[in-house]
Amino acid sequence: MNKIIPDNCANKVGKAVVFIGILIASIGMASIIPTLQTPRAKVLGILGGGQLGRMIALSAANLGVKVMVLDPSDRPPAAVAAQAVKGHFRDADNVQDFTSKVDVLTVEIEHVNAEILIILEEEGAADIQPSAKTIAIIQDKFAQKEYFKECGVPLGEFCDMPDEIALLHAANEYGYPFMLKSKCLAYDGRGNYVLHSKEDHSIAVEQLGGYAHGLYAEKWQPFEKELAVMVVKSRAGEVQLYPVTQTVQRDSICHVTETPALISESVRIAAELLAKQVVNAMQGAGVFGVEMFLLANGEVLLNEVAPRVHNSGHYTIDGCVTSQFENHVRATLDLPLGDTSLKVNHVIMLNILGEADGKKGEQLAEELIDRALATPGCSVHWYDKSGVTKGRKIGHINIVGKSMEEARDRLLALDPKALERLGS
């Protein structure tokens, strides 16, 4: 006797047969259709896991991009949003091993092992953005100056400093004061010495590690303001500029920035043209920080360049449509660049710098943060570093306002001395 299947059961059986057929077909198709790969699926590797790496990783996470960082610390600041690999970015073996784990490699600090990066890039073993050659040029400040001089970029006088004779010649040519600088491993005031007289010569050379360490001199520039332009460059060579910002240093460390800078239209145009000229002279994609001097006669001179996101662009997190950190991810991974324009009328960035070592420094930083949290228009960005020491960058505060006056009034509530340094 034939078993009769009720209609409802027959329907279920039929659906099951159809489902199984579709499943078999889909499995077969999956074996011949490659998995879709998008730029966002690539792993972005960063040499260095400090605060810049942290903010890049946080922006990458919002885009669904996986980040790995190479850093000598047990738990670097970037570990909040990235997989941290312990190792040093100046160790060739560490860098080479790390590079094999990522799809695209970038830097949050230029003081890396550029020699191994150049080898890997030339062998086609690594996708490095910006180019390893660019990083190598920038990390040697004297080589950087020579390169941009050859490119016709306007900059102040400088000279090599191989010995005491050269130092005496510079003093005679430039007069006092003038700057003596280390060619490499110099940042945040480290590696710089202002000479005011001949008596400073031996002290300066000794503190900078001696002539063998690699020194050069710069003629003192009596600037009216220090300016900076953050520039993002795509792999295809598209260049977009962020607004010109004024930067103010405290003990050669960036203390406060104001955007847009209070400058004339002609100065703004000159600064933008200089920034474009500089970035177009470099290979590779990413964000570049271009620092410059504004002289009393309106001339704009290049100071130095960073082949990475930069302290003078921290304001972009809360002040611009797309932050410098997100645009660095976009540029290095060949994603469309984001809008670099301001989304507020005025924005001031105040660095949270260690005012003292240890507990006292922590207390003073917390008091500043409390004032910021109680002030409208303020956003706190904490770096979660392993301790507070005098002069160390441990966070920053972005202050937005409907006008310059409103933003400056809010800065006054946080740090009157910073407002004083900002000037008019």
The residues spanned by each domain of the chain are: 39-128, 157-219, 225-422
The secondary structure element, H or E, covering residue 318 is: helix 316-319
Nearest to 159 by CA among 171, 151, 150: 171
Contacts of 273 (CB under 8 A, 6+ apart): none
Instruction: Report which residue type is found at 255.
Output: H
Q: How far apart are CA 298 and CA 175, in angstroms?
A: 23
What class, spelled out in words, does domain 225-422 have in CATH?
alpha beta
pLDDT, residue 24, reads: 39
Q: Which residue has the tokens 């130092």?
A: 167
From CA 73, how far away is CA 137, in angstroms rounded? 27
DSSP H helices in 215-314 = 265-280
pTM: 0.89
Pick from 375, 383, 242, 382: which is nearest to 316 by CA? 242
For residue 388, give both structure tokens: 């507070």
Question: pLDDT by residue for the chain (424 residues), tens digit each?
Answer: 333 334 444 444 444 444 434 443 444 444 444 444 688 899 999 999 999 999 999 999 999 999 999 999 999 999 999 999 999 999 999 999 999 999 999 999 999 999 999 999 999 999 999 999 999 999 999 999 999 999 999 999 999 999 999 999 999 999 999 999 999 987 766 789 999 999 999 999 999 999 999 999 999 999 999 999 999 999 999 999 999 999 999 888 999 999 999 999 999 999 999 999 999 999 999 999 999 999 999 999 999 999 999 999 999 999 999 999 999 999 999 999 999 999 999 999 999 999 999 999 999 999 999 999 999 999 999 999 988 999 999 999 999 999 999 999 999 999 999 999 888 7
**C-beta atoms surrounding 209 within 10 Å:** 14
CATH, range 39-128: 3.40.50.20
If one looks up domain 157-219 in CATH, what number appears? Answer: 3.30.1490.20
